[in-house]
Structure 1
Amino acid sequence: MRVDAQCNTVGAACPGCGTWSARVHSSYLRFPADAPSAGRRVVLQLRVRRFRCRNSMCVRRTFVEQISGLTRRYGQRTERLRSALAAVGLALAGRAGARLASLLGVSVSRSTVLRRYPPRPRCTVRRPGRRGGAQPSTEFEPALPSCRYSTR
C-alpha cells in the first residue's frame, strides 16, 4: 500500500531560533518506514519542504519542516513504528523481539530492537552538591537494568 502525503501549512518555525518562515528553499521526498496496516506493507512517500530562516543572526540558514506525531529529525521510522518497536523491545528484547517484529511485518535486527528501548531513569544517587548539600542525580542511561547493588 502506498501513501503519498505532504504538509499543507503555510510555513514552519525554525528549530534554532523559533522564527516563523514561509520562504521555501526547496522540497524533497522522504520515505519513513511505517508499521503494516491490515497485514500489508505501507510505503509512505512524504514530501517535505526546506525553509530559509528569516533571522540573519540564526546559525541555521535552512531547516526542514517536521510533521508532529509522524516524523522527527533524521528519523527513518514513523513515531507509530518507533513506539511499537519500543514496546516489543521492552517486552522481549533481542532475538525474540526481532522474531515477533518479523511476524508483525516489520523487518528489524535484534540490535535495532535493543536500541529502541526508551531511556530509563538511573537510580537516585545522592551526590555531593555545593555547600555540603546532597543533590539527586537525574541522568538517564538506557543500559542500566535495575537499581539493586550487591555488597559481596
Structure 2
Amino acid sequence: MSLRFNYQKENPEALQTMLKLEGFNSKSGLDKKLYELIKIRASQMNGCAYCVDMHTKDLGKMGESQERMHLISVWREANDIFSDKEKAVLELTEAVTNISKNGVPQNLYEKVLTYFSEKEYIDMIMAINTINCWNRIAISTGMYPGCF
C-alpha cells in the first residue's frame, strides 16, 4: 500500500473538523481505555491498519496488557478477559459500525443502559462515529502504519 496523498496538507479544514470531534469526545467523560477499545474494534472491523496500529500503541501506553489487546477482535470467545461492561461497549461498537445490517437492536440498547446513562450512550455513539470517520479517511487516502 502507498499513501495516495497527505489529506492534512491538502485540506487542513477537514483535519480541524475531525479534531473538533476528538475534542468533544475527550471532554465527554468517556473512560479513556473504553474509548481506545472502541477505536481498536471499529478499526479492526473496517480494516484500517493505520488506526489499529495507532490505538493499540496508545492503549499499551495506558498499561493495557498485550493479551487483552490481542483478543479484542475475538472478545466474545475470550471468556472472562473483558468485563460485562466492556463487552457491552464492544458489542455496541460492532452494531453501530455495521449499522446497515441490523441497526442497534433494542436488547443491546437495554444492555448498554445497564452500565451507562443515556448521555453516556450518546457519548459512545459519538466516539464510534468519530473513529469510523477516521478509518474512512485513512483507508481512502491510503494511510498505513508508519506512513508519516
Q: Same fold (TM over 0.5)?
A: no
Between structures 1 and 2, the one with greater helix share: 2
Q: Tell which structure's C-alpha radius of gyration is larger.
A: 1
Between structures 1 and 2, the one with greater strand share: 1
Structure number with greater CO (CA < 8 Å, separation at least 6) is 2
TM-score by length of 2: 0.26
